[in-house]
Structure 1
Amino acid sequence: MSMRIGLGFDSHAFKEGVPLVIGGLKIDHPQGLAGHSDGDLLLHAITDALLGAVSAGDIGTFFPPTDPKWKGADSTLFLETALEEVALAGYKIVNLDCVLIMHRPKIVPIAGEMRERVADLLSLELNRVSIKGKTPEGLSQDGTAVAHVVVLLESIELPDSHKKLAIHADRPSESDIEDAITAIAGQPRDITALGRKLPTFDTDDLT
């Protein structure tokens, strides 16, 4: 069994006129977080931590902020892509620890509900998800929210055919990915809407 550690970070400024979503949870607050997508900095940081743990790039690799396709996108879609990459690499989540830093809203009163939402999105038991709220004492961050995430992964045994895919295939097809995820999760997954990058041509064919 092998272990992997991933580190995620994100920050967003508060903005008038947009809803506040953190950890997939809609929060009643007069300001939301500015961003190309829905501004969910916690899911962004978790996504980056998962992708980093399996050396799959970062959130910008799959969902560049310059692409209008992801304007206003639900960040749970980003998280699903990261989970696909983790599963394809032959790993599963052991636990994650999250720190949210902001003056308002207060995270502690809603941390329990937020943990439940994140655990549900990751298909984890609640005791494998930690979310802590801190205030940026002494720092000029009144209008900013910051998230730090650390995730621990452990390897899982794959059927031989899918193990070969996970270890040796540099450019698996969408069909290969769906088969591998089905073998791991026990049910089919539709990956057509996700941000996974597949090559448009085979460089070995170049002369």
Structure 2
Amino acid sequence: MGMRIGYGFDSHAFKAGVPLVIGGLAIEHSEGLAGHSDGDVLLHAITDALLGAVSAGDIGTFFPPSDPRWKGAASSVFLKTALEEVATSGYRIVNIDTVLVMARPKIVPIAGELRESVAGLLGVQPGEVGIKAKTPEGLNQDHVAVAHAMVLLESLSVPEPVKKLSATADVDEVNQVVESLVEGVRDTSALGRKRPAFDADDLT
């Protein structure tokens, strides 16, 4: 069975007057994270890790910050698209490990809630999600939140009848069978799927 790994990284500065959302979880704090979307640094890093694992580009490929449609958008939308790319590539998540680097708020007291939130969004068990927190000692990043994410994927086994079908059926028939095996496939063409060019100054 084939395995793939993916790595994602993101960072956002704190900003007054916006809500703080990390891992899809609203957190009570005096400042939120600046960004074109909701600034969810953790989901952005996980999204990039998933996309990278299946060589599908990155978050800016699908959701360029120059596109007004994603202004203030919930980062769960980005994550869902990455999950679709993983599914249509024939893989599933084995586990995800993440590190949040920030001076405040403290993550340890809410790590369990974060794990539950991320696991729910990914459709995996909480025990398959790692959430760790570090402080940016000596990095001069006290007003910045940084997230690192690693994901391990495994290929989905193809039933033997499908293998036999692929040897004799035409392309349309095979496509129909494959699509029937993947739940929740949606057309992502309207989201700018695999746009070749995007702004390198990614504000998402």
Q: What is the TM-score with the length of structure 2 in the denominator?
A: 0.84
- Is there any run of 5+ residues in structure 2 with no aligned partner, and where? 196-204
Gaps of 5+ in 1: 200-207
State whether structure 2 residue 191 is matched by structure 1 residue 195.
Answer: yes
User: Is the CA contact (8 Å cut-off) linking 1:158 and 1:183 kept in structure 2?
Assistant: no
Deviation at 1:157, TM superposition (A): 2.2
Shift of 1:198: 7.3
Q: How many angstroms apart in 2 are the aligned matches of 1:155 and 1:29? A: 40
1:182 and 1:131 map into 2 onto residues whose CA distance is: 34
Aligned equivalent of 2:181? 183
1:51-200 correspondence runs (5 A):
51-158=51-158, 160=162, 180=178, 182-185=180-183, 188-191=184-187, 195=191, 197=193
Code of the aligned partner of 2:99 = V
Equivalent residues of 2:81, 2:188 under 8 A apart: no
Distance in 1 of aligned mates of 2:79 and 2:178:
18
Task: Indicate conservation of the 8 Å contact 1:102/1:134, yes or no.
Answer: yes
Overall identity of the aligned pairs, in %: 65
Distance in 2 (alpha carbons) for counterparts of 1:48 and 1:56: 9
Runs of 4+ in 1 over 6 A off after TM superposition: none
Q: Distance in 1 between matches of 2:82 and 2:120?
A: 15
Q: Would you say the 8 A contact 1:16–1:32 is kept in 2?
A: yes
SS at match of 1:38: coil
Q: How many pairs align?
A: 186
**Shift of the alpha carbon at 1:182?**
4.9
TM-score (norm 1): 0.82
RMSD: 2.5
